[in-house]
Amino acid sequence: MEFVQYEVENRIAYITLNRPDKRNALNYQVVAELKEAFSQASMDEEAKVVVLKANGAAFCAGADLAYLQQLQKNTYEENLEDSSHLKELFYQIYTLNKVVIAQIEGHAIAGGCGLATVCDFSFTVPEAKFGYTEVRIGFIPAIVKVFLLRKIGEIKSKQLLLTGELIDAAKAVELGLINEISDAENIKTRVNEFAQMLIEKNSGQSMAFTKQMIAEVQSKTLEEGLQYAAEMNAKARASEDCQKGIAAFLNKVQVNW
């Protein structure tokens, strides 16, 4: 991969945007490489948690200029294929069978803010700015909207999506877009500590099931959701991890996840 790096250390898969000269802006190739990296992480038995981060001053500035110019020449069918390409990446991250943590050390704008939105947890430096600026260039924040509404609700989503304003890290935490702020010197350590907590204390299978249910249950009716929950509950009880965890709890020993 040319613009995305992949490595595993201490059971964490690090996926790093590496296009700093373009502020890690997105184009078709970058999205394709991200999809490849997340597919690799999902199947990597050495990795239990995934961290998405970026090299350079920006986390991700959204679509790059050349990419935006090309969109003007595309047919509807070409634009639909390209839009579906990004949709597949966001859905892949949102439904990945492993927890995904965003480590944000620079501005996350438009599509870059979309990447932060679909991660399960997001940690940022205080200097970072966030925003969905599409409406300010005559575009729309179409795909990310589906996930943002689930994440922070309609009122807060409208505030961000319809104004196109940039907000600081403190406001992003207040709105529920970001989980935590850490200064630049400590964010790597803080993300690693959080990831290791998940790795050491939680069943990977249980986190995968829980994440899957969060994604699926919101589209169901109350009765459908409860039936789905009961079925997943029964499925989890029969799992190896559940048997292992309950045995360790009853025997008052520390389970090794």
Q: Which residues are catalytic?
A: 134
CA distance 175 to 157: 9
CB-count exposure of residue 128 (10 Å: 0-12, 13-18, 19+): buried
| DSSP, res 134 | G
DSSP state string for 43-65 = H-TT-SEEEEEESSS-SB-SB-H
Judged by DSSP in three states, 140 sits in coil
**Residue 243: closest CA among 205, 191, 213:** 205
